Amino acid sequence: MRVMGIDPGLRACGWGVIDVDGPRICHVANGTCRPTGTAMDVRLLSLHALLTEVLLRYAPDAAAVEQTFVNAGGQSTLKLGQARGIAVLVPAQAGIDVGEYAPNTVKKTVVGVGHADKSQILHMVLMQLPGCAPDSADAADALAIALCHSVHLQTRGRLAAAVARGAETSA
């Protein structure tokens, strides 16, 4: 299964793609989309085009996006929310279900601590994906989001299988 993680942003939107085969996880690619333009509509359109290009190139089976962190400034949060909307829209347009995770959930899943800092996230991403070289902190975060989603997808799959086995034995 190929999983794409997206760390939304208007200036820098990180993305990361991993392949998951049971317990084996391998880095495919990562990068940072840097939308052009100054007007909001132009930036959002640019972000949409850049993420669509990445999605078409790497053809993920699953995608996940980090939920918006609510800043003290309402305007900043609203702008980030618009970028996040594009990050959810692009895979949804391709027919891919999009997982959404709170920043603390990603950190807890990948690092083991819900309040890990950027350096701890990068360290664990490098440990779990040997040989990868994230091109920015945003790309490292996106890879962490992909790792988090892969863990949650596998857990859900095991749970569904267990429930199905239970239903068969009780029938």
- pLDDT digits 0-9 by tens, 13-67: 999 999 999 889 999 999 999 999 989 999 999 999 999 999 999 999 999 999 8
Q: Mean pLDDT, to the nearest integer, of 90-99? A: 97
3-7, 120-124, 155-159: segment of lowest average pLDDT? 155-159
Task: Check 19, 21, 117, 138 and give the catalytic one.
Answer: 138
Measured distance CA(45)–CA(43) in Å, rounded: 5
CB 51 within 8 A of CB 13: yes
| Residue 135: active-site member | no
Residues belonging to the binding site for Mg(2+) are 7, 66, 138
- pLDDT digits 0-9 by tens, 129-170: 999 999 999 999 999 999 999 999 988 665 555 566 666 777
Measured distance CA(116)–CA(165) in Å, rounded: 37
Domains, the chain, in order of start with CATH, read: 2-170 (3.30.420.10)
Tell me the whole-structure pTM to 2 decimals.
0.89
| Residue 66: active-site member | yes
Residues belonging to the binding site are 7, 66, 138
Return the amino acid letter for 37: G
- Exposure string of 24-36, with b = 16+ CB inside 10 Å and e = fewer, is ebebbbbbbbbbe
Task: Check 19, 41, 53, 66 and give the catalytic one.
Answer: 66
